[in-house]
Amino acid sequence: MKRLDPERLAFEWGQAFGRSPDGVALAPGRVNLIGEHTDYNGGFVLPMAIERHVGVAFGARGDRTLRARALAFAESRDAEIDRLRPGMGGWFGYVAGVAWALEASGYRVRGADLLIDADLPRDAGLSSSAALELASARALSAASEIDWEPVEMAQLCRKGENDFVGVACGIMDQMASAACEEGAALLLDCRSLEGSAVELPAGFTVVVMDSGVRRSLAGGEYNRRRQSCEAAVAALREDFPEVGSLRDVSAERLATVRERLDETVYRRAQHVVLESYRPVDLAAAFAAGDVARAGHLINESHDGLRDLFEVSCRELDMLVDLARDRRECLGARLTGAGFGGCAIALVEAGSAATFIDAVQDRYRKSVRAGQDFFVSRPVGGARLVP
Ligand code: GLA
């Protein structure tokens, strides 16, 4: 995929709208290092923003019209801010949802002309939706002179996705795209939204491996996973009323209600209970330079997603197995919601190119042709390009 060039985007904005833009906002996609399907269960996550972005060149207008053009779809859409109503789908729904959420929390959004481009693949589990939301939020905030506060903006963008577009996501992706610090992953407590910066162990890097499988069924399956988690919490509360979410439950306690739970619900809850604090453990292993333990945790996370939570697929399992076969790989797992999309591997930095050649070659030969693998350093959250 062609790399995003903010200067070119600003130039094209000028061509499209016949004046100079006010600026360009960039928001990154993310991988999650560990802590999968824990955000909506109040647990911990450890996402890392990647060097792939959505860019929004913008200019304020004198009225209340929101006009946007997406280069990837060669499509333009517009709407009056005062007439935005929940239920709008398509790419423009994510943009309009941000304006709607800002207004719903009392901000006054100015009309704006937006030109959108990205070098983040869609539907690959790298949070292109959250990146579009945060880049739009950064652009609309700047055009409307609204102060930028990353945690608040992540919450507003999630509200737009939940209540305007109608997708029941958790908070991880928006927080990663808004609040990651340059050079570090973000250890986030999804209950308190307190975060801390976590550096990768020296000498290691993250390789992103796209399976090429697109997550067409993810919506329904994702909601079913959430319902299983809620069913487990309801059963636990009968005996332990203090339980707020699966994060509060140990594997031993979960086992005490096993016979009252459907077997599938039990397995799903087991994954979440085991995964909720893995991000804290992985951050501790990184800090201690205990790379063997780090790799072990990453592998355990994937195995739980495959066997207990059941959100992997044949292609992701093959990618993970091919990666783990390599000596320079510490651990590998699927990243994001699952059902397709990407896997990540923690790899010795000096051997990353060899790793990519070998795994990509075997994957392309035995599974799917032409899939994109890349190394990413951790980048910072949504920002304006001067
Ligand atoms: C998607 C959602 C996130 C999170 C992950 C699974 O990316 O948007 O909120 O639930 O799946 O960890």
Predicted local confidence at residue 212, as pLDDT: 94
pLDDT tens digits for range 68-118: 999 999 999 999 999 999 999 899 999 999 999 999 999 999 999 999 999
- Paired with 375 in beta bridges are 207
37 Cα–ligand 1 center, Å: 6
Q: Which domains does the chain have, with CATH numbers?
A: 6-198+379-385 (3.30.230.10)
Q: Are strands 195-198 and 185-189 parallel, antiparallel or unpaired?
A: antiparallel
pLDDT score, position 211: 96
- Give the model confidence (pLDDT) of 2-22 as tens digits: 899 999 999 999 999 999 999
Please identify, by atom number, the ligand 1 atom nearest to the C-alpha of residue 171.
9
Q: Tell me, what's the pLDDT at 371?
A: 83
Estimate to the nearest angstrom the gap between the alpha carbon of 28 and the chain centroid: 9
Indicate if the alpha-carbon torsion angle 149, 152, 156, 158 is positive or negative: positive
Pocket flag, ligand 1, residue 170 (CB < 6 Å): yes
Q: Which of 33, 38, 39 to mutate to test the pocket of ligand 1 (most atoms within 8 A of CB)?
A: 39
Ligand 1: residue whose CA is nearest its atom 11 = 337
Our answer on whether the CB atom of 169 is closer than 6 Å to any ligand 1 atom is yes
**Residue 384 pLDDT exceeds 60:** yes
CA–centroid distance, 170 to ligand 1, in Å, is: 6
Output the pTM of the full model.
Answer: 0.97
pLDDT mean over 353-379: 94
Among 152-161, 209-218, 304-313, the range scoring the smallest mean pLDDT is: 209-218
Q: What is the mean pLDDT of residues 195-207?
A: 98
Largest CA distance in the chain: 67
- C-alpha span between 184 and 70 (Å, rounded): 30
Using alpha carbons, list the distances in angstroms from residue 319 to 154, 372, 373, 381.
31, 12, 11, 28
Does 36 contact ligand 1 (Cβ within 6 A)? Answer: yes
What separation in Å is there between the alpha carbon of 325 and the centre of ligand 1?
A: 28
Q: Which atom of ligand 1 is nearest to the CA of 222?
A: 11
- Average pLDDT of the residues of the chain: 97
H, E, C per residue of the chain = CCCCCHHHHHHHHHHHHCCCCCEEEEEEEEEECCCCCCHHHCCEECEEEEEEEEEEEEEECCCCEEEEEECCCCEEEEEEHHHCCCCCCHHHHHHHHHHHHHHHCCCCCCCEEEEEEECCCCCCCCCHHHHHHHHHHHHHHHHCCCCCCHHHHHHHHHHHHHHHHCCCCCCHHHHHHHHCCCCCEEEEECCCCCEEEECCCCCEEEEEEECCCCCCCHHHHHHHHHHHHHHHHHHHHHHCCCCCCHHHCCHHHHHHCHHHCCHHHHHHHHHHHHHCCHHHHHHHHHHCCCHHHHHHHHHHHHHHHHHCCCCCCHHHHHHHHHHHCCCCEEEEEECCCCCCCEEEEEEEHHHHHHHHHHHHHHHHHHCCCCCCEEEECCCCCCEEEC
Q: Is 133 in the pocket of ligand 1 (CB under 6 A)?
A: no
- Separation CA 301–CA 332 (nearest Å): 9
Please say if 239 is a catalytic residue.
no
pLDDT at 217 over 60: no
Return the axis-axis angle of helices 263-275 and 218-239, rounded to nearest 10°: 90
CA distance from start to end of the chain: 24
pLDDT the model gives residue 301? 98
Could you give the count of Cα atoms lying within 13 Å of 166 in the half-sphere of its Cβ? 8
Predicted pLDDT at 215: 75
Q: Which of 22, 117, 173, 248 is catalytic?
A: 173
Q: Convert the pLDDT of each residue in 224-265 to its tens digit.
A: 999 999 999 999 999 999 999 999 999 999 999 999 999 999
pLDDT average, residue stretch 110-136: 97
Question: Rounded CA gap, 13 and 68, in Å?
Answer: 10
Nearest residue by C-alpha to atom 1 in ligand 1 = 337
In this structure, the residue with its CA closest to atom 3 of ligand 1 is 170
Ligand 1, atom nearest to 35 Cα: 12
**Residue with the two structure tokens 């000596």:** 327
What would the pLDDT profile of 141-150 be if each residue is shown by its tens digit? 999 999 999 9
For ligand 1, whether the C-beta of 39 sits within 6 Å is: yes
pLDDT of residue 89: 87
Nearest CA to ligand 1 atom 2: 169
Give the Å distance between the CA of 17 and the centre of ligand 1: 36
Tell me if 275 CB under 6 Å of ligand 1.
no
Q: How far apart are CA 342 and CA 47, in angstroms?
A: 14
Task: Tell me how far the alpha carbon of residue 96 is from its chain's centroid.
Answer: 20
Question: For residue 11, with 0-12 CB atoms within 10 Å meaning exposed, 13-18 middle and 19 or more buried, which class applies?
Answer: middle
> In this model, does residue 218 exceed pLDDT 80?
no
Atom of ligand 1 nearest to the CA of 32: 12
Query: What's residue 369's pLDDT?
Result: 84
